[in-house]
């Protein structure tokens, strides 16, 4: 059984969770503004749910600081 901190999300789930489009997710990951995907198979990647949630929390905190 996986916990939410170790759950791996696929791109569609990340998009639903963040509201970002495919290109934005990959562009932000390249610039280290977003978590980088982890390799989960030969041709499959995913994102750790805990890292995506932390990204969202940082964005929300920055909104309050602005």
Q: pLDDT by residue (tens digit) across 30-57?
A: 998 999 999 999 999 999 999 999 999 9
Stronger pLDDT, 63 or 64, i.e. the higher one: 63
In a domain, 18, yes or no: yes
Q: What is the pLDDT of residue 30?
A: 95
Token pair recorded at residue 20 = 């970002």
Q: How far apart are CA 5 and CA 14, in angstroms?
A: 14
In a domain, 48, yes or no: yes
Q: How far apart are CA 43 and CA 47, in angstroms?
A: 14
pLDDT digits (tens, 9 = 90+) for 1-34: 555 568 999 999 999 999 999 999 999 999 989 9
In a domain, 1, yes or no: no
Q: Which of 14, 13, 41, 9 is nearest to 25 (CA)?
A: 14
Q: What is the pLDDT of residue 66?
A: 61
22-49 burial string, b = 16+ CB within 10 Å, else e?
A: eeebeebbeeeebbebeeeeeeeebbbb
Give yes or no for residue 64 having a pLDDT over 90.
no
Domain limits at 36? Answer: 8-65
Q: How many domains does the chain have?
A: 1
């Amino acid at each position: 059984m996986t916990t939410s901190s170790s759950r791996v999300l696929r791109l569609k789930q990340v998009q639903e969770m963040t509201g970002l489009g495919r290109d934005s997710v990959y562009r932000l990951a390249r610039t280290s503004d977003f978590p980088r995907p982890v390799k989960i198979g030969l041709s499959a990647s995913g994102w750790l749910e805990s890292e995506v949630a932390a990204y969202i929390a940082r964005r929300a905190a920055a909104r309050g600081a602005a």
